[in-house]
Amino acid sequence: MGLRLRTKRASAVRGTVCAGVLLVTMTLMGCPREGGGERPGQDDSRSPGASSASPSAPSSPGRQSAAQAPVPAGVPRAIPAVRSAEAAPGPGWRPVDGARVIAPGPLADEGRRLAGELHLQYAAAGPARSGDVELAQRPGSSGSGPLAAEGYELTARDGKVLVASAGEPGVFYGTRTLLQAVRSGGGLPEGVVRDAPDRAQRGLHLDIARKHFTAGWIEARLRELSALKLNQLALHFSDDQGFRIESDSHPEIVSKQHLTKAEVRRIVALAESLHVTVIPELDSPGHLGAVIAAHPTLQLRDASGTAARGAIDIANADSARIVDDLLREYAPLFPGPYFHLGADEYRALMAKNPEASYPRLAARAKEKYGARARVQDLATGWLNDRAAFVRTLGKKAKAWNDGFFPGGVVTAKKDIEVEYWTGKEIGARAPQDYLNEGRTLVNLNDEYLYYVLGEPNQFTYPTGQRIYEQWSPAVLRGTAPVPAPAGPDRVAGGRLAVWCDHAAAQTPQQVAAGIRLPLAATAQRLWDARRPTLPWRDFASLDARVR
């Protein structure tokens, strides 16, 4: 990231200080060795939300006062790197014994969290004195526009620190930068940091259907996401191999290993406290083998009677009934704005001639949409109907790019967000086609961002270095960016995706270790889409210090 650093004219306080203004462009970042395992004995209190502090929080041993050990001038080192910083002369700020984190009212939880992490005291009210950190929510303090609530201003001046933002998420992100600055450099250099994300959607997509992950493991990933200023966790909880969330409306479909609703509420509550949105994905009309196992009459069959793996018969009214039951049941469990509807890899549309292979679907399409309608129109109508239904539940729909088809009599609604993952499906469409249609895209490019257990179908585990050096939000398919503008208003962000095709190929601990650096690199490129200038090795070593 480009980082502007200006040093103001300084007056003589101790000795002689050179006058002038220095303009330097820098970039910061960090991560451990690619493929490294989890560090033995790592202190979970280094993760956001893992500890809290009382007004009598213990002091950290071996502290020095700011006067004895000034923080070196420069830019605080953090992941993702701060986008701009203005340096000023002065000793900077270090955590010292007796210092407080002052956070009033709505910011109290953020204040207690930071106080615990830095071994400071917590106070609900000021005024701030030397050594203190003050958190403040102030309109206009982090710019304007849709991302202002996530932007922040971090100021070290007169022995104090002020973290200010228009929104609570921005204040939280400012505290993450402050915490990482202490871990990487001992404190915060004198001056002002102004920082905000480039993309609104930044996160991890996790397949919990093919492989069961415990609530505790998922909560650890939430803390990891929040430390990197990532703000989404998508949970793909239904597939052919399993259905992993407790259901009251259809308990017969739920796998033996699953998350209870109480556990989901606990996950969602932690996510909200860390400013992460949890997005449920109930994939249909494909990837429903676990549902079909309990309801075999929903199984899609071709003209010869052969079952289409994982696919339900969308000409059967009972198929819509059971899917809508589940959408209705789960919508209140996930209070965020999105519901992912899947829509990918429907077996009927993977046939060379869907109309010949699935005449029942072809007949239903003509009956419902007219003589020119095809099977793809019936599938598009299915997607539109589910999107309309979740809209009544207060949700915005997402769907995979291979659920959107050109040239039909039915067109997918424009307000359904396209999650672009592949260009390898039958009739593949370039990302540019979706952009030309005026659609909003989210980037899950399977060339860079797919961590598929067992590496089937020519997938290889992604590396942080490759993401860091080669990928950007505009690289939606393959390795080249799209030719048309792909700014934040068109490509809203991206997610690293973990898919558990061969569930036994890695343990949960190995998955956590394997995605550590790819997640850090993804966070960097989504926070600032410009090519990083800090060498990968330096970025990697920084991660080991700040997280």
- Per-residue pLDDT 10s for the chain (547 aa) are 333 333 333 333 333 333 333 333 333 333 333 444 333 333 333 334 443 333 334 444 345 544 458 998 999 999 999 999 999 999 999 999 999 999 999 999 999 999 999 999 999 998 999 999 999 999 887 766 778 999 999 999 999 999 999 999 999 999 999 999 999 999 999 999 999 999 999 999 999 999 999 999 999 999 999 999 999 999 999 999 999 999 999 999 999 999 999 999 999 999 999 999 999 999 999 999 999 999 999 999 999 999 999 999 999 999 999 999 999 999 999 999 999 999 999 999 999 999 999 999 999 999 999 999 999 999 999 999 999 999 999 999 999 999 999 999 999 999 999 999 998 887 789 999 999 999 999 999 999 999 999 999 999 999 999 999 999 999 999 999 999 889 999 999 999 999 999 999 999 999 999 999 999 999 999 999 999 999 999 999 999 999 9
121-123 sheet: strands from edge to edge: 22-26, 3-7, 84-87, 191-195, 152-157, 160-165, 133-137, 100-102, 121-123
Output phi, psi for 251, to 5 deg: -65, -20
Helices (H) and strands (E) in the chain, counts: 13, 20
Q: Decide yes or no: CATH 3.20.20.70 for domain 84-195.
A: no
Instruction: Report the distance separating Cα 314 and Cα 277, nearest Å.
Output: 31
Query: Within its chain, how far is the Cα of 66 from the centroid?
Result: 36
Instruction: Report the distance separating Cα 53 and Cα 114, nearest Å.
Output: 8
- Closest to 419 in 3D by CA, of 162, 128, 201: 201
Domain ranges (residues) in the chain: 84-195, 201-544
User: Which CA distances in Å does 201 have to 183, 232, 422, 491?
Assistant: 27, 7, 19, 9
How many beta carbons lie within 10 A of that of residue 454, not counting itself? 15
**How many alpha carbons lie under 13 Å from residue 241 in its C-beta half-sphere?**
14
- Give me the amino acid identity at 387: A
Residue 31 confidence (pLDDT): 35
- The contacts of residue 153 (CB under 8 Å, 6+ apart) are 141, 142, 162, 163, 164, 165, 174, 192, 193, 194, 195
Q: Which of 345, 417, 419, 447 is catalytic?
A: 345
Query: Within its chain, how far is the Cα of 77 from the centroid?
Result: 21
How many beta carbons lie within 10 A of that of residue 406, not counting itself? 11
How many beta carbons lie within 10 A of that of residue 294, not counting itself? 14
Q: Which CATH architecture is the domain 201-544 placed in?
A: Alpha-Beta Barrel (3.20)
Residue 428 confidence (pLDDT): 85
Instruction: Report the distance separating Cα 479 and Cα 496, nearest Å.
Output: 16
Whether the upstream peptide bond of residue 285 has omega within 30° of 0, thus cis, is yes
Q: Full-prediction pTM beyond 0.75? A: yes
Q: Looking up tokens 């007056």, which residue turns up?
A: 11
User: Which CA distances in Å does 233 have to 173, 417, 547?
Assistant: 17, 16, 19
- The contacts of residue 201 (CB under 8 Å, 6+ apart) are 231, 232, 442, 492, 493, 494, 495
Residue 427 confidence (pLDDT): 75
CATH topology identical between 84-195 and 201-544: no
Residue 44 confidence (pLDDT): 33
DSSP state of 70: P
- Give me the amino acid identity at 159: G
Instruction: Report the distance separating Cα 412 and Cα 377, nearest Å.
Output: 9
- Closest to 494 in 3D by CA, of 536, 446, 530: 446
345 in catalytic set: yes
Three-state secondary structure of 349-367: HHCCCHHHHCHHHHHHHHH
Three-state secondary structure of 154-200: EEEECCEEEEEECCHHHHHHHHHHHHHHHHHHCCECCEEEEECCCCC
